Structure 1
Amino acid sequence: MIFPRQFASKTTTWMKRVREVAYDAEDCIDIFWYHNGHRHCSQNPIVGWLHKIIHPLKTLRAMHNLSIEIRDLKARALKVSERRLRYRVEAAFGGASDAYTVGRSSPDYNHLERQLPALNIDECRLVGVTEKTESVIRLLEYGNLARLKVVPIVGFGGLGKTTLAVTVYKSPTMKGIQTRAFLAVSQRYDLRILPESLLRQLIRISLRDPSCSREETLKDPLIGIETWHISEIIGRCRAHLEDKRYFIVLDDLWSPEDWENLKVTFPDNDKQSRILITTRNRNIAESCCADSHDLIYNMEPLPFEESKRLFYKKVFKLDKCPPLYQDLEVISDGILKKCSGLPLAILSIGGMLARTKNKTRAEWEKVCDRLGSGLEISATIGGMRRILSLGYHDLPYNVKACFLYLSVFPEDYEIKRGPLVRRWAAEGFISGMHETNLEEVAAKYLDEFVSRSIVTPTRIASTGLVRSCKVHDMMLEVITSKSIQENFISFVGKQQYSTTGHDKIRQLSIQTDGTGSGREQENHNTNFSHVRSLLILRCSKKPLPIIFTHFKLLRVLDLEGCWWLSNEDLKEIFKMSLLRYLCLRRTNVSQLPKLVGRLKQLVTLDVRETSIRELPESATQLGSLKHLLGGRYRHYTRISRVKHFEPHEALMIPRGLKNMKSIQKIANVDIASSSRAMQELGALSQLTKLCAIKSMEEKNGSILLPRPR
């Protein structure tokens, strides 16, 4: 919990001490379970009996040190309690309850309708966009020129440039251009990732072409792309685009140098191809324009009437203020003036007010007062951050950890629903009641973030369920600063943020390829023994000499896309006895350690798109495992909801699978031709999702399966 700036610094210091005591208490508990979790279970009764005698002796020193730490912790807790009285924190709480909390109680997430937030997304965000979309399309078509044309959209952060670009991209006019791609550039983009993303989109489009033969659809032209040089990837992109009319969107360009690096990918083929760019900087926009035929679209704030429409749609799902709340209209006008027509600010405040149970004049006046001058005088980054921060303060305390966790992801990173809610649950951020499935509660938290416009959906299922989302870069700045302030997350390689500001790191996000500033910031003396979560994202090279056994209290280990990862790196991973979430997706790993079964608390094991085809025998001892995800799929077929599998790429079901009683989801497994596999699957009473394939004898033995979530 964070207090407003008007509270004394002593209160803030006291809160920091409380957090430190709480973190250290958690450390003591986890250290106890860590040593307790190393007890060896053996089928040999003599070995088991000997281990029961030896294990307490081996851990005697550790338990003695732990008892000293607990004694010290009790003394610190008493001092913190005394300071609470000395600093009169009760008065601060009392003052905050009225001036700081917007008349809300913790919402009952168990009764949230999952589909409601998503169904209202487009309707809200499209307020005032139709005319702007038509204007941009006219600029793209102006002159009907055959040569490649670039149109930049320029405007302050939060004006809705990305929403406008997406709307243009999805418009019937632009859909008529068969070869299209949408690329998020971001402030710190990877020179390799963008061309690779472009090539993947182009390949996917070509394979969906009705003229594409069956033989071509069965091939995977992207095999080994992780090892290709960047020049080869760019060359293949140019080859795909050379003889086609294409439309490319480059969202959020930050420097002229970025454009110089990217434009070599796009050939000027005299086929009326078009590139749409969004940027905050007019100088960058001008540098992208080759000549006078390239026109710039200046993004303007919403007119006041459209601001009101957007606000009321978010709060009441209506175009105007309902008669029951007419007394709020004057206050709404005051709030909107401080938002200065910026959709991001309007949606953030509207999403917060929509969740309040008591929509009274007094409560809304408090919100208006807390906005200060907002953006009324001038649109500044500081003013926008202040507005976006209100959404964080209004969240129930138990949801704030999930909010802060979003900062582990890089800018413009597409966050998938399934992995995110599984990570939240594994981190211990979710409190279940009445045996509620923790991941179902986590999914409702995500829907709440969508409803409050904290995250922006990028993929929505036909049912209205949000499949993936992104965090707006300005919102991400707010979340990141809050995370660092609370020592919630530390970073390696994230621009403007340091990993060494705190002695004890709890969550660590590594976002570097090992060649730039990330390595310069890295401190080899950093103590990793307190880290609970390690995510290595967008790292094409090994970022630093990581020894996983140093992370003894780790709960979440996400190494997706780390192609440099080898079997040798994981040889002692079984010693992480507290590990709950292990993702090795899209890595070079071909087998798991033989003793992986010692990870008794492991809930999720994701080895999709690796070379792992068989699990060690000990894997059947993973009694807590709920999600077993394996196999490799090649590409989208022409049937949009189906993926193509080849039998040898599925994960073989281990003998003894029936012993894994907690399994709820199994993805991409080969049930072979024997009845044993089917019988073992039938014994799993908790199984709710199964994506399985059966080996075929035909030459092209393959079957079509629903796309795994």
Structure 2
Amino acid sequence: MQHDVLVGRGDVEKELITRLTDNEEEKSLCVISLVSEEALGKTALARNVYNRVDIRQHFQCRAWLHVAKDFTYKDLLLAIIKQIPICGVLADVELMSEHQLIGWYLHQSCLARVSTPFTVAANGSRVILTTRNSKVASEVDPWGHPLKLMRLSDEESCELFLKVVNEANHDNLNNFKVGIVRICRSLPPTIVLLGGLFSSIQPNDEWSGVTDHLSQYLGDDDQSVDLLTIVALSYHELPYVLKPCFLCLTLFPKAYEISTRRLLQLWIAEGFIQISTTTATSVLELEDLAKAYLEELVSTNMIEIATWKEHGSPKTCRMSSFLYNVFLPKDEDIGFLQIHHCNSHVHESNQIIRRLADHYVGVKSTLESHTQHLCSYVSFKAQKQGTSNREVGTLLNTIISKRRSRGIFLMKVLDLEGVYKPLLPEKLS
């Protein structure tokens, strides 16, 4: 959910800012938990506060982390260290052990006499934790008082929907607001997605069709339409040329800020950018159309812009964590892509793998069965430790040798951005 469409969170935001900055008397570490079992925009609120100018000025160092289930402790330390603007060159930090990382972190940050990077003595450090599990919040800070997000009121739901749709003729929207409130039942992610869907279709007749269709999913107790139903409809309504572009975002790690430059190049290399012309197409034309694809996806609220360049163009984008959780399993089930996670176990499978992404692990886990039809490989392993540079070459040599007998070698995408000095086969270098 975009930070500029937060509605009905003023009191919680104000309280969160107060707890973050009121450290004149409380100098020890404080954990502030945002809790709600439902998808109510916890991450959007936290991100909005995290990026505020006054918060950036108040704290000398900030770090934003998504802690995945398969994250190792060392991954966590590296993620923190790489976001801290400290003096000195951070040389070969990936080669350090966990013990060395903790020692280096404590030394550089003057955090002596503590055993973990979060336990900071007397300097007013703060941690914002977003979770659906209230037990997690109580275990992290048994004496704290979590901030609990509530559903929006009917008036706030309508206000948010109007902001998302940005329809000049509000009379059109007023005719549908009762149905919209019943369908969304005051859940911000649902409102944002439905608003994006309405933005992409014509008012009145098509809007009526959507509300009538979704109203069929209201239960006898008039509960809200399940968010997954609206997600499925939003994806179904995407133009066919945009669907593979959208699915490609799950190649990237969850909550990852994706460089738009990198994403557009990936779409072009995959052949997803389609221009109906019989004449030669320039790279510039493909890039312009790819940018238009991105703008259209953003307008549907299926993805969002994370950061902007100085001149106003998108710098990075991301898929919401909720949508990532929905679409990644589906992408893997249909064979659109395969992800290797940290500490994951890869098993032999008869499924054809065409796109493969390695998250935090080396390609040594790549099985022979995964290379026979592989046309795209993306790596996110930037660590120097280990042999990731040689493993890339081993993977490519395996692919070449297996396909040499067939006389073809088709590899559309080889994205090694951030991989430390990969050793490539001579035929590719």
TM range (shorter): 0.7 to 0.9
Alignment match of 2:388 (pick from 557, 562, 565): 565
CA 1:571–1:475 in 2, change beyond 3 Å: closer, same or farther? closer
Distance 2:59 2:420 in 1: 37
CA contact (8 A) 1:573 1:593 kept: no
Find out whether 1:511 has 2:346 as its counterpart: no
Q: Which residue of 2 aligns with 1:297?
A: 147
Find out whether 1:394 has 2:226 as its counterpart: no
Alignment match of 2:30 (pick from 149, 153, 167): 149
Find out whether 1:342 has 2:194 as its counterpart: no
Q: Which residue of 2 aligns with 1:452?
A: 300
Q: Quote the offset at 1:353 in angstroms.
A: 0.6
Task: Output the TM-score relative to the length of structure 1.
Answer: 0.53
Find out whether 1:278 has 2:122 as its counterpart: no
Which residues of 2 match residues 195-344 of structure 1 at below 5 A?
195-202=77-84, 205-207=85-87, 216=88, 220-221=89-90, 223-242=91-110, 264-291=116-143, 294-316=144-166, 322-323=170-171, 325=172, 328-344=173-189
Distance 1:468 1:376 in 2: 43
CA contact (8 A) 2:250 2:327 kept: yes
Amino acid at match of 1:161: K
CA contact (8 A) 1:508 1:531 kept: yes
Alignment match of 1:522 (pick from 340, 347, 361): 347
Distance 1:533 1:280 in 2: 32
Gap runs ≥5 in structure 1: 1-119, 208-215, 245-261, 490-506, 597-615, 617-709
CA 1:156–1:187 in 2, change beyond 3 Å: closer, same or farther? farther
Q: Quote the offset at 1:410 in angstroms.
A: 3.2
CA contact (8 A) 2:307 2:316 kept: yes
What is the SS of the residue equivalent to 1:404? helix
Q: Which residue of 2 aligns with 1:33?
A: none
Distance 1:296 1:536 in 2: 36
CA contact (8 A) 1:242 1:267 kept: no
CA 1:461–1:562 in 2, change beyond 3 Å: closer, same or farther? closer
Q: Quote the offset at 1:484 in angstroms.
A: 4.6
Q: Which residue of 2 aligns with 1:586?
A: 418
Distance 1:307 1:129 in 2: 12
Q: Deviations over 1:58-114 (max 9, x none)?
A: xxxxxxxxxxxxxxxxxxxxxxxxxxxxxxxxxxxxxxxxxxxxxxxxxxxxxxxxx
Q: Which residue of 1 aligns with 2:427?
A: 595
CA 1:195–1:351 in 2, change beyond 3 Å: closer, same or farther? same
Q: Which residue of 1 aligns with 2:365?
A: 544
Q: Which residue of 1 aligns with 2:203?
A: 359
Gap runs ≥5 in structure 2: none
Which residues of 2 match residues 478-497 of structure 1 at below 5 A?
478-484=326-332, 487-489=334-336
CA contact (8 A) 1:411 1:476 kept: yes
Q: Which residue of 1 aligns with 2:353?
A: 531
Amino acid at match of 2:381: G
Which residues of 2 match residues 71-150 of structure 1 at below 5 A?
121-123=2-4, 125-140=5-20, 141=22, 144-150=25-31
Q: Quote the offset at 1:476 in angstroms.
A: 1.7
Q: Quote the offset at 1:147 in angstroms.
A: 1.7
CA contact (8 A) 2:372 2:399 kept: no
Q: Deviations over 1:408-464 (max 9, x none)?
A: 333222222122222222222221233363343233222222211111322222333
Distance 1:180 1:365 in 2: 46
| Further displaced range: 550-559 or 127-136 | 550-559
Distance 2:165 2:244 in 1: 25
CA 1:375–1:164 in 2, change beyond 3 Å: closer, same or farther? farther
CA 1:338–1:412 in 2, change beyond 3 Å: closer, same or farther? same
Distance 1:196 1:306 in 2: 40
Q: Deviations over 1:21-56 (max 9, x none)?
A: xxxxxxxxxxxxxxxxxxxxxxxxxxxxxxxxxxxx
Distance 2:427 2:54 in 1: 57
Q: Quote the offset at 1:122 in angstroms.
A: 4.2
Q: Quote the offset at 1:349 in angstroms.
A: 0.5
The alignment-based identity, stated in percent, is: 25
Q: Which residue of 2 aligns with 1:696?
A: none
How many residues in Structure 1 have an aligned counterpart in Structure 2? 408
Find out whether 1:174 has 2:55 as its counterpart: yes
CA contact (8 A) 1:415 1:469 kept: yes
Q: Which residue of 2 aligns with 1:695?
A: none
Task: Output the TM-score relative to the length of structure 2.
Answer: 0.84
Q: Which residue of 2 aligns with 1:468?
A: 316
Distance 2:262 2:68 in 1: 23
Q: Quote the offset at 1:277 in angstroms.
A: 0.9
Distance 1:463 1:374 in 2: 45
CA 1:193–1:144 in 2, change beyond 3 Å: closer, same or farther? same
Q: Which residue of 1 aligns with 2:266?
A: 423
CA 1:420–1:240 in 2, change beyond 3 Å: closer, same or farther? same
CA 1:128–1:588 in 2, change beyond 3 Å: closer, same or farther? same
